Every structure is written in structure tokens, then in C-alpha cells.
Chain A
Amino acid sequence: MRHEVRFSGFGGQGIILSAVILGRAAVMYDNKFAVQTQVYGPEARGGASMSQVIIDDEQILYPKVANPGIFVIMSQEGFEKYGAGAPKDAVMLVDATLVHSRPQCKYLEIPGTREAKQTLGKDIVANIVMLGALVASTHVVSEAALEKAILDSVPKGTETLNIKAMKLGIELGKGAQAHEVT
């Protein structure tokens, strides 16, 4: 089963890192295949940043995402540039704090940035909250694999904070009410 996941937000939110962690979880700990690519340019520092991951049980041939089925959108500009065109059968997680538009497809409102700030005191881990919610709601990788990949990827000394963020995201993802296509 091939899953194509697209992350978008603004530069500095850790959009690229989110995609790298997800791909790493699939390859290193779920024994799957993954390819991660990104829009790589000046817009990665400010503006809309975008990164994509393909996860598959079989080897991935064509490495570019053609039809993303899962979206994680963390800024209004990211929504407009990389989320607004999501197909009707896609599912989107929107950071409800920062994205005010809503897509034509099924979506979940995850208050990632607000919860990271209020509950954990650090909005910098909002991307990890969103990753937790993504995995809880779509199961593209296992929670155990996600946890290990986060621990591999985050700076030393921030492991506890990031795992708290992931667990918070998993709760939010499980509790979120999906808004179906109208």
C-alpha cells in the first residue's frame, strides 16, 4: 500500500524535519520503504515550505509524489499554495490555530501550535504534535516507530519535551472529530 503524505507550513516550523522523521520511522523501524523529497529553495526560510514522503511496503520506483492522499498543513500560506488543491478523497490535518481556510476533502482540526504553547510551553514542538496526530489518525507508521525516529532526530536534551509533544498529538489525533466532505 502506497501512502503519499505532504507537509506544508512556513520556514522554521520544522516541516522538512517532520517529513524526515516520518520517512525514517517507516524505513528504520517499520521495515518499510520511504522516499522523502522537499521543495528546496529560498522559500524554505520564511514563505511556504513543503516536504513530501512516500511510504510503501514495496520498493519505491518513481520517487516524486503525484497524488498526495494525506496532508498536514501548518500555515495559511502553506494551505493556499500546497493544500487548497487537495483531492476530495484526501484527508487533511490542519493546525487550527494558524490555518483559517478549510479544504474540500475530509479534514481534522488539530490545535497543534496552541497546545504546544499552552500545555508544553514551547510552540517549537508544534510539528511533533502534528506528527503524533497524523500517526494516531492515519496509522501510516506505528507509534513505536514514530517515537524512535523522533528520538533519533531531535537535539540532545529535548527528548523528553518532544516525546511529550508526540503523546499530546496522539491524544489530539484520537479525539479529533473528522469533518467529512460536504
Chain B
Amino acid sequence: MTRIEFWQGNTACAEGALAAGCNFFGGYPITPSTEVAEIMAAKMPKKGGVFIQMEDEIAGIASIIGASWTGARSMTATSGPGFSLMMENIGYAAMTETPCMIVNVQRGGPSTGQPTMGAQGDMMQVRFGSQGDYAIIALCPANVQEMYELTARAFNLADQYRVPVFLMADEIVGHMREKIIIPDSMPQIPRRPLVKGTLPFKAGADLVPGFPQFGKGYGVHVTGLTHDERGYPAATNPQLHEALVRRLVDKIENARHAIADFDIINPDAEQVFIAYGAPVRTVQQVMHDHPDKNIGFLRLRTVWPFPEFALREFKNVKRFLMPELNLGQMAREVERHVRVPVVSIQKLGGELTTPTELVAALEAPL
């Protein structure tokens, strides 16, 4: 039996993680993500899992990387400066192919900025914030239901692709309370173990090596240095480095059709909104209030890897309109895939884009 709740987005995130079998939370509380840690602290021990408050966010992500190697479904939650502190170890997780789940309830930046206000200013940081070339997966919820469901899916993606997966929420969705229908259970896709006798970083056709979990009898060396298929440092071998980094990127980019999660509405429209996170709600309101305007909508839940093939579904599009709570970060990504104009509808300050602002953009001359 499903059940109904009236939950805050951050509550739904914590509960979605527990439903997904998350059994390790390490982190450092920070507004506006703190409720996630609070709920995990209260509930995780009762479920036989571990909650640990670390000394800072650097240690928080380090702890979830370590926990993941022992087989845990591990998670942290942060915002703003805490996310910046995590950057080095996010690269380490990408390089060591460590499945882990990181929640960023975005607030206004840069720096300590606006702790209690919403933003989407970390969309490029999540993709490129750590040094070197790598790839990650980022999901964006637009309502409390998705805070639950995308959190649960993030754990599956992390295990499936051995990669850090990010729930890129925002203060608006994290703190609003609304109706949510709790599913009976969330599907759990387990991590594929390394076949004994195979080299620990040797991948097959899907480019994802099996996982040699600590304590299961594998001999494995884990390092952030460029490593060979045995896991041993080989940092001066140019061909090996290139092959490794290309595999880390390709294992995600090649799978972008399978990872993608989006809705296409009115594909024949000439004016098409693209949105993710809280601004989705404003687009939905405008479409509801103006059925006469024949508005198209690409509603993204997966933002990275960017599903550029979805843009081609809008055959008659004359322009894309992209409301974001930043200065057009994802609009730049869209621009490099299309030939028509991309209108970036930018909002800073912490409040949500209003329907009036979107209608004004729609009515501006083409």
C-alpha cells in the first residue's frame, strides 16, 4: 500500500535514501541541507546503519568514499561552501571509481552568499569543479516527490556506473512542504562484483569494472594517481593515462541515453522552454495558464550527462527559453548543441522565477 505524506523536500530526500538502502551517512550540517543530516542522524542507527558527523565537509566526503569501498550505500549532503570543500575528493571518487551519493541543496553564492535562499549556481561546478577531465551524473528534482525518487535512483546509478552521483536540489525544493505519495518500495540495482581472477580496474564493453569490495578477499590497491588495470600507480605513462581518463568520461557519456530522464511536451511548438529544478514549476504554471500559446517544454531531471539528443525532438523550434536561478550556466551547454537562439532567463537573489517573467520572455519578439 502506498501512503500519502506532507513532507519537506529534505525529509523526502532522507527518506528516499533510507528506502534505497543507504546505510552510511557522513557529513557536516549546513543550511539549507541540514534537515537531511538531522533525519539521517535520528533514523540511520535504528536501521542498523551508521551516521557520523565529521569535522568538516572534506572529511564528510572522505568518509563516504571509504564506506563505499566496504560495500556501503553511502551518502553526504551539503550546500554552498561545503560543496566547494568537497571538490578534491569528488575527483578522487571519480578517479577511483567509487560509487557515492552527494546531495547539494543549492543556495546563493559565491562564498557564504545567501544561506537561506535558493539558487542553481553550482551546475557547472558539479560537472567541472575538480581538476582534470572526468564525468559525473547529476539529477535535479522539481518537487518533493522527486526529492524522494531521484535520491533513490541516484544510489542505483552510482553503483551501476561506479561514479559519484549528485542530487542537485535547491533551497526552494528542499524546504517546501507538499504532498508526496510514498511508493511501497524502491527498486535497488546492486553493484556488480569483480569476477575473481580479473584485474580490478579492467573494464568490459560497458567500460565499468566490477567492484572489488574490501573484506571480500580481493587484493586491490586504490589510488588517485593514474593507475594501471591492477590499480598500481603508473603516472608517467602517457598512453595509459589517456586511455584511463577517456574511459572514465566515456563510461558516463556513452551511457547518456540510458541515464537520461526527461519529459518532452508539445514537440511541435516554435517556442520551447528548457528547465530543471524549481523553475520547472514556473514553466508548468505558464503552460497551464496559457494553453493558447502552444508552448513546448523540455523538462530535465538528468542534467549531466547532458541529454543533447532530446533537443532534436523539437523539429519546429524557433528559439529555446531557459529559466535558471543563475547567470545562464546550462543555457551555455544548450547553445553548443543547437543552431537556434537560446534565451537565457536569469534570476539571482534567491527567489523563484515568476510566471510573469516567463510570459514576458515568451512575448518578446523573435
Interface residues of A, Cβ cutoff 8 Å to B: 20, 23-24, 27-28, 33-38, 40-41, 60-64, 66
| Contact between chains at B282 and A28 (CB < 8 Å) | no
Once bound together, how far apart are the Cα atoms of A41 and B278, in whole Å?
20
Interface residues of B (CB under 8 A from A): 4-6, 32, 116, 171-172, 175-179, 278, 281-282, 284-285, 288, 351-352, 354-355
A27, B179: Cβ atoms closer than 8 Å: yes
In the bound complex, residues from chain B placing their C-beta under 8 Å from that of A40 are 32, 116, 171, 175
Q: Supply 16 further A-B pairs (C-beta < 8 A) apart from A27-B179, A62-B281.
A: A23-B177, A27-B6, A28-B4, A28-B6, A34-B178, A34-B179, A35-B176, A35-B178, A36-B6, A37-B175, A40-B116, A63-B176, A63-B278, A63-B281, A63-B352, A66-B354
Query: What residues of B have a CB within 8 angstroms of the CB of A33 in the complex?
Result: 178-179
* A36 touching B355 in the complex, CB below 8 Å, given contacts A28-B4, A28-B6: no
Contact between A61 and B177, CB atoms less than 8 A apart = no
Residues of B within 8 A of A61 (CB): 281, 284-285, 288
Taken together as a complex, chains A and B put the C-alpha atoms of A34 and B144 apart, in Å, by 12
Of B5, B175, B177, B355, the residue contacting A62 (CB under 8 A) is B355
CB A104 to nearest CB in B, in angstroms, measures 24
Q: Shortest distance in angstroms between B51's beta carbon and chain A's nearest beta carbon?
A: 24
B-chain residues with CB within 8 Å of residue A27 when the two chains form the complex: 4, 6, 178-179
Closest-by-CB residue of B relative to A32 is B179
Q: Which residues from A are CB-within-8-Å of B282?
A: 62
Asked if A36 and B176 make an inter-chain contact with CB atoms under 8 angstroms apart, the answer reads yes
Write the chain B residue with the least CB distance to A33.
Answer: B179
CB distance from B214 to the nearest CB of A (A): 41
A-chain residues with CB within 8 Å of residue B5 when the two chains form the complex: 28
Tell me the bound Cα distance from A27 to B171 in angstroms: 22
Task: Show 22 A/B contacts (Cβ-Cβ < 8 Å), sorted by A.
Answer: A20-B6, A23-B178, A27-B178, A27-B179, A28-B4, A33-B178, A34-B6, A34-B177, A34-B179, A36-B176, A36-B177, A36-B178, A37-B172, A37-B176, A38-B175, A40-B175, A61-B281, A61-B284, A61-B285, A62-B282, A62-B284, A64-B352
Expressed in whole angstroms, the Cα–Cα distance for A66 and B355 within the complex equals 10
Bound Cα distance from A28 to B178, whole angstroms: 10
Q: Who on chain A is nearest to B175 by CB?
A: A40
| Residues of chain A contacted by B179 (CB below 8 angstroms) | 27, 33-34
Distance in Å: Cβ of B266 to nearest Cβ of chain A: 16
Q: Report which of B6, B116, B285, B354 forms a contact with A41, defined as CB distance below 8 A.
A: B116
Known: A27-B6, A28-B4, A28-B6. A63 touches B116 (CB 8 A): no
Q: Which residue of B lies closest to A41 (CB)?
A: B116
Tell me the smallest distance from the CB of B234 to a CB of chain A, in Å: 50
Q: Could you say which residues of chain B place their CB within 8 Å of the CB of A24?
A: 6
